[in-house]
Structures are given as C-alpha cells and as structure tokens.
Structure 1
Amino acid sequence: METTFKNKVAIVTGGASGIGRATALAFVKKGAKVVVVDWTENEETLNLIKNLGGEAIFVKCDVSKSADVKAMIEKTIAKFGRLDYAYNNAGIEGASASTLDCSEENWDKTIAVNLKGIWLCMKYEIPEILKQGKGAIINCSSVAGVVGFAGLPAYVASKHGVVGLTKTAALEYAKLGIRVNAVCPGVIQTPMIDRLTGNSKEAVEQFTGLEPIGRFGQPEEIANAVVWMCSDEASFVTGHAMVVDGGFVAQ
C-alpha cells in the first residue's frame, strides 16, 4: 500500500458498486481512510478494502436528503476526526423518455439525486475540509454533462448542472485551499450501463460504437483520474470538467 494519502480521509458517495467502489479502493491503495456511502446497505466494498489492509466505514445515506448528508459528515468526523477529500459520485440515470414524455416525478427524482445531492454534499463537506486548510472535492458529472443525449433529458440536465455548480464552487474556494473539479466519464462498464443496455448485444454494440476506442471504459480508469485530481500532482487544477472518455462522438 502506498502512503500518498497517509492520515487523510476521503468520502466516496455511491461507493457500493461501479466507479464509486473502484474509487474507494483506489484511495485505500494510496493510504487513505475511506467513508463508503450509499443508499443501500453493502458490505462487499468494505470487505474488499479490508482485504487490502485498509480502514473504512460504511454510511447509509440518501444524498437528496439534507438530514442524511449532515449525518454522513457527522459520522465521518466522529470516526476519523477529519475530512480531506470527497468524491461525490452518487447518481441515477432516471427513466428513459423524450423531453415531451419525461414525467415530472422522474424529472424531480433525477435532479434531486444527481444535482441537489452534489450541492448538499458540498454544503456539508466544505466546512470540514476548510478546517484542514487544504483539500479537494471531485463531483461526478458525465460525458452527458457536456453533450446532449436523446431520451435522457433529466439526466443530461442534471449532469450539465453539476459542471456549472462545480465551476462556481471552485471559484469560491480556490483561495481558501479547496480545489473543486468534475469528472465526466464516458460509457463505463457499470451496473448503470447494464441497466441502460439490458445487456443486449445490440445495445452494447450501439454504446461501444460511440467510443472510437471501441470498448466500454472500466471503473478503475475513472477512479485513477479522480485520485490524481485529489493529489498534489494536480495542485494547480481547479474548476475543470475532465472528460475521461475514449473520444465520445455524440453531438
């Protein structure tokens, strides 16, 4: 295990699977203590961390609810006494529908989790990171945060919103020691993409066809980018939306 983040503490929301799990493991491999956050109970990520010799706790949290997010931070400080980094990754794809057919319920839920959730997390994370005098927050947007994607209006709107929110927070806290950036993953092999494709061969080929590299990205490829953006190697990077993608061609 490396010691790049020795004695540092990182929160990873949506940490039960996919990119979140990969990022939690990547932080641990660099020596950080990790708070794994998700809205369903999950021990698998914690077991993987323990197998690496790392230290972590699991916190159940619905990021769209302020009381849950506040409790998440309180539990983090109670256990580890500090917060240095946060990867605000929790998100949902919502139901597929055209702008005309998107239901108000679907719109509200998707925006609440994907956009309001990011804002709430930062609202409660920032005061604790400020106490350390230095830290970093990475928000998970999407390639759909920089291009349109037919059939997912609420998702696309929420992810565009994450980019704007990230840039605003970056301007507000850069001189106070907190760097805030967004990562915009392309089509990554996660449970979310499995739901979108239904694991059908035709749908998988359609999605991978959007990537000039010709394959899905892997969660670890995003995790490595997130951890780098939190590190001192990225000390001059703030307010950026980093597209981690094989060259997405959607317009």
Structure 2
Amino acid sequence: MVHEAAIMRRGGGGAIVNTSSIGSRRANPALPAYGAMKRALNSITETAAVTWAPDHIRVNGLTPGGTATEMIDAWEAMTPGIIDQINATSPMGRMATPDEVAEAALWLLSDRASAVSGAILPVDGAAGA
C-alpha cells in the first residue's frame, strides 16, 4: 500500500480496497493465526485511511464470507458436505458469488463511494452479524 499511495499522491489521490475475511470478525478456534492476521489487515486498512485522507487517498476493506469459487469446489471434493455447512452459516442460506464480491470492491473504488474511507464492508450474507 505504501508504494500504491506514493503513486496515487502524484496523481492527486485514489482508492485502495483490501480484501480481508469474515475470519477477521468471527472467531474460528481452528484458525486463530488466520483470524489474527485478517484482523491486523483491517487495522492497517483503517490506519491507512486516516493517515492518507489528507492526500485524497481512500482506503477500505472487504470481509467476504464463504464465496463460491473453484477453491470451495475443490474443498467440497475432498470434504463432501462442506458447501452445505458453509451455506448453513449464512442467514441468506448461500455463499456470495465472486461477482458479488467484485461489485462491492468496484463500488468502493468508484467515485460513487467518494466519502467512504476506513470502512470494513462485510460481503457475507449476514453471516458475521
């Protein structure tokens, strides 16, 4: 981000979106280091937002929950039923699609989100609520 911000300063500003995880907001006893690292990313995102706001650089983060990707399909092949387990943790009863996560990032990067900085936006079907 430091290198991105340096380039953005020369251009008059910009926007950065970091991708964290629902694991930053919901404890998972099986993956404590993963959760800690993702929580740290959220903190760095918020700190960068405050630090670089005077330079007209917005910094936000996404915390996707389960997302229907090839990685999940591979996990399902190794652990049948995992998709059903992930879907059961979402009040919406399903995972996000990669396009849904990308749309959230596109909005945060766009001028339509020009007053949004320091936000950590869940894209998890209310699973982290």
TM over 0.5: yes
Matches of 1:143 and 1:195, distance apart in 2: 20
Provide Cα deviations, 1:26-77, integer angstroms capped at 9, x if missing partner: xxxxxxxxxxxxxxxxxxxxxxxxxxxxxxxxxxxxxxxxxxxxxxxxxxxx
Q: Structure 1 pair 248/163, CA: closer, same or farther in 2 (3 Å)?
A: same
Task: Report the residue type matching 1:211 in the other structure.
Answer: S
Select the structure of larger CA radius of gyration.
1
Q: Percent identity?
A: 38
Q: Kindly indicate whether residue 111 of structure 2 is the aligned counterpart of residue 220 of structure 1.
A: no
Aligned: 1:240 with 2:99: no
Map of 1:34-49 to 2, 5 A cutoff?
Answer: none
| Counterparts of 1:241 and 1:134, CA distance in 2 | 20
Q: 1:196/1:223 Cα in 2 relative to 1: closer, same or farther (>3 Å)? A: same
Residue type of the alignment partner of 1:128 = I
1:194 & 1:123 partners in 2: Cα distance?
35
Where is the helix percentage greater, Structure 1 or Structure 2?
A: 2
5+ residue gaps, structure 1, are 1-121
RMSD of aligned C-alpha atoms?
A: 1.6
Number of residues of Structure 1 aligned to a counterpart in Structure 2: 129
C-alpha distance in 2 between matches for 1:196 and 1:240: 30
C-alpha contact (below 8 Å) 2:22/2:128 kept by paired residues: no
Of the three residues 43, 49, 70, the one matched with 1:170 is 49
TM-score, normalised relative to structure 2: 0.92
Closer, same or farther: CA 197–148 of 1 in aligned 2, 3 Å: farther
Change (3 A) 1:156 1:218: same
Where relative contact order (Cα < 8 A, 6+ residues apart) is larger, the structure is 2
Structure 1 residue matching 2:81: 3-state secondary structure: helix
Q: TM-score, normalised by structure 1?
A: 0.49
